[in-house]
Structure formats: structure tokens, C-alpha cells
Amino acid sequence: MADTLKPEAGPRRWLVAMAKAPRCGAVKTRLARGIGAVAATGFARTTLANICRRLARDPRWRMVIAVSPDRSVETHVWPSGVPVIAQGAGDLGARMQRVFDALAPGPAVIIGTDIPQISARRIATAFRLLQGHDAVLGPADDGGYWLVGLKRSPRVRRIFADVRWSSAHTYADTLANLNGARVALAEPLGDVDDELSHRRLGRAGSRVVLPPWWRERA
């Protein structure tokens, strides 16, 4: 995996989107209980595609999709033009730490792919915060976070030990692991995990939103 993440040229800033293969019945299962498996899968596909349209060709960073399960790397379910790597085994923290460890030098930001309001402006702000901080977190309204970033200099911090994932404690546990580090906070955003959050935020995820440079080159 590390070889896949060596930069060829350009900015040494990494943006990694963590994504689960958008297969009906296997993705967004909690959301599917409220709106149905087909609609939940459609949401996952469209939101990932929108995030890639907005962010993948931005010259300020290099974007990678880290995917699960690992075997889906070889499939054609991912947006074209964006490098795809496997997340590997373990819980979410182990998989994100593996990504942070494998990347070539430079600050790195990891995002989820169920947050319709992610934009290039918000990602640029996170990287700007890393210029003066060791880490950046983007809180979510459910006790988790939609973004985590590390400066990764002079070392790669290990920040995910004993985090209670998918709970109201996820953000607080991660912040506790960053004790002694200079931590900045990005703008809070909501993710879409269930029918209620889909009613509140899902409409933004259903729209195809193209950045200005995409329109210019289309």
C-alpha cells in the first residue's frame, strides 16, 4: 500500500477519503433500515461521486480513496481518475492509522464520505490549520468527527487507541489521545447515518455539485 501513496510531483499534502464499496445491502445499513437499501446505496454512490468531483483535481492536495473491503480495489465501483488503495484490517482507528503511516511525507487529512456538505473551502481550511497545529478535528453532531488531520512532522502521532467508535464518545476519546498536541478545530458538520439525518441533510447529497474548474473543463 505504501508504494501506491508515493507522490510523483506536486503538493505534498494528502487528502484521503475513507469509503465502503457502495454495494446494495452492504453499505449504509443503518440508513437503509429507514429509507431502504436501494436509496441508501444511491446516497452513498452520489455523495462519494460529488466529493470526488469537488476535491479530486484541486491542485492544492493529492486525493486518494481508501476502500473497504480490500478486494473492492480491483472493481469498477469507484469514481474514475482517483487513486484507490485498500484500508486493510482492523477497526476504523487501525485502518486510519495505517493510512497515516503509509503516506509519503507531508500533512494529511482523512475525511468520511457520508457528509454532503464537504467542500474544497473546508478542506483548504483544515490544511491551513495544520500549518500551526499538530492535528485538526472536524466535529460531527453525533459525537464523532467528519475530518481528522495530522501534520505528521516531526513524527506520525498514534491517536486512535481505545477510541469508542460509532458512539457519542468518539470525538472525546480521540481528543484525549491528542493530549499535549496543538489541536485545531474545523467547522462542525453533520453526517448522514440514519433516516432523521437523511431528511435533514440528504437533499444536499442527492445533488450533483460541480466545482468551477470542472465546468470549465467539461
Name the burial class of residue 123, with classes exposed (0-12), middle (13-18) and buried (19+) by CB atoms within 10 angstroms of its CB.
buried
Any residues with CB less than 8 A from the CB of 108 and at least 6 apart, and which? 13, 14, 15, 16, 99, 100, 149, 150, 152
Quick one: how far is CA 31 from the chain centroid?
18
Q: What confidence tier does 216 reach under pLDDT thresholds 50, 70, 90?
A: very low
Options 2.60.40.10, 3.90.550.10, 3.40.50.720, 3.40.50.2020; which CATH number does 11-217 get? 3.90.550.10
Domain boundaries, the chain: 11-217
pLDDT tens sequence across 60-87: 999 999 999 999 998 888 988 899 999 9
pLDDT tens sequence across 102-119: 999 999 999 998 888 899
